[in-house]
Amino acid sequence: MATIALGSDHAGFELKQHLISRLSEAGHAIIDHGTDSTASVDYPAFCAAAARSVRDGAADVGIVIGGSGQGEQLAANKVRGARAALCNCLYTARMAREHNDANVLSIGARVVGLGLAEEIVDVFLSTPFEGGRHARRVAQLAELEEQF
């Protein structure tokens, strides 16, 4: 089982709580970086905290959730070493892992329904990185990160 760090804004709070319950029942360890309610908040700190947990080795993977997932992905990607992917369908979830070795999943709670969100998480967590030519590309991303 994996250790999963989660962060959300107010729009993603209810989906985050649902996923925490579901992932915990499946035996995963959870690090919840907030938010803790549906009261309006700014998302960057919550999402960056989830990505830092992955970078620092406290978590195996991160999940960030907002209304669209766009800003949450951007915030997570500001953390050196994070490879956050916005996945609002099963194909992008699989490709994010297989080809990009994404380590943070971003989901739009106002874009996908509960059942699809569960499936996206399942695909993201169960899909291994393919390596090969993709490893070279992921290494190039890390080099770019060092340059800027």
Tell me which residue of 43, 148, 46, 60 sits closest to 104, measured CA to CA: 60
Q: Check if 10 is active-site.
A: no
Of residues 25, 72, 98, 143, which has the active-site annotation? 72
Distance CA 64, CA 71 (A): 10
Q: Check if 118 is active-site.
A: no
Distance CA 53, CA 33 (A): 9
Q: State the DSSP string of 2-70.
A: -EEEEEE-GGGHHHHHHHHHHHHHTT-EEEE----SSS---SHHHHHHHHHHHHTTS-SEEEEEESSSH
Of residues 99, 118, 134, 146, which has the active-site annotation? 99
Q: Which two tokens stand for residue 101?
A: 């070795």
* Residues marked as catalytic: 72, 99
